[in-house]
Amino acid sequence: MGTRCTIAAFHDDEAAVDRAVTRALAEIARLDAMMTTWTESSEVSRINAGAGSGDVVAVSPETYEVLDRSLWVARESGGAFDITIGAFKGLWKFDQDNDGSLPRRADVLARLPLVDYRGLSLDPQLHTARLAKRGQSITLGGIAKGLIVDRAVAKLRASGLQDFLVRAGGDLYAAGRRGDRPWLVGIQDPRAGAGQARSADTSFALVSLENSAFNTSGDYERFVIQGGKRYHHIIDPRSGYPVAHTRSVTVLAPTSFLADTLDTAVFVLGAKKGLDLVARVPGAEAVIVDSENQVHVSPGLKDRLQLTRPPTDAP
């Protein structure tokens, strides 16, 4: 899915770690092949190819689970998260096609009617999926990596590892401990290094983790700045334009899949509505940096979060 994956482990047998990591990476590759849109042969690409034809596509249990969870969070967020946002592919260019250009407003508005999660139909008995309208397209980049990280975690544990990290882009799972203490992870400052060289430590907050997921979505990894305004890859499905009121969202949860289910929706909803959504999901906590550079923390995380400095205040 165009994301770098890394695994780190504490263990006294390097050969055992190598074997475990090899199994975990094979699982990541297997699931990526099902759910990526970077190849035409994936299950997701076949669903997109059949959009509007009435044809159904049989999918694996894993893909079905992600599709089903995607519809759940779409309903819970009032459409703030919507995997049919894939209809904007080729208009907003923030991946390998990033050439610094922006789409015409007329083109965005022309595709906006195609973004509607209610056009995705699932059959729970047959494990099939179909898209109602020709031109509709789904992308699982905002949710599938969480499930994939969890499956890699399961492979590592089944291989006998207990203390390790699995990261796929902004999705992280910390298992066990780092030696004699919990893992200590930082939340990226969304504007770290703005106007100057990036420092070694670009976090503004720290949190200890032990057998927990830690997922971050931000406007600072894939973006274009034009006319002093930042345009980034997190698009509001309801408007067709990048979200302007949020800089970053970090969600902590028992599983990476749950954290990944929530982080983009919270980003689009903004601080107040986003924290309301998090409060309805048992085990989830969140840290939000809004466009005014204010930090919002869910109640259950306030005693655990260490704010090391204010986030950088920059456009």
Query: Model confidence over 17-58: pLDDT tens digits?
Result: 999 999 999 999 999 999 999 999 999 999 999 999 999 999
Number of domains observed in the structure of the chain? 1
Average pLDDT of the residues of the chain? 94
Residue 136 has pLDDT above 90, yes or no: yes
pLDDT band at 201 (very low <50, low <70, confident <90, very high): confident
In a domain, 255, yes or no: yes
User: What is the domain extent for residue 182?
Assistant: 170-307
Q: Measured in Å, how far apart are the chain's first and last C-alpha atoms? A: 29
In a domain, 60, yes or no: no
Residues whose CB is less than 8 angstroms from the CB of residue 64 and which lie 6 or more positions away in sequence, other chains included: 122, 124, 127, 129
Please give the average per-residue pLDDT across 174-185, as a whole number. Answer: 95
Chain centre distance of CA 216 = 7
In a domain, 88, yes or no: no
In a domain, 216, yes or no: yes
Question: What integer pLDDT is reported at residue 193 of this predicted model?
Answer: 62
pLDDT band at 199 (very low <50, low <70, confident <90, very high): very low
pTM attached to this predicted model:
0.95
Query: Model confidence over 75-94: pLDDT tens digits?
Result: 999 999 999 999 999 999 88
d(CA 114, CA 133): 7
Domain at 269, CATH number: 3.10.520.10
Question: What integer pLDDT is reported at residue 214 of this predicted model?
Answer: 95
Of 181, 184, 177, 186, nearest to 208 (Cα)? 184
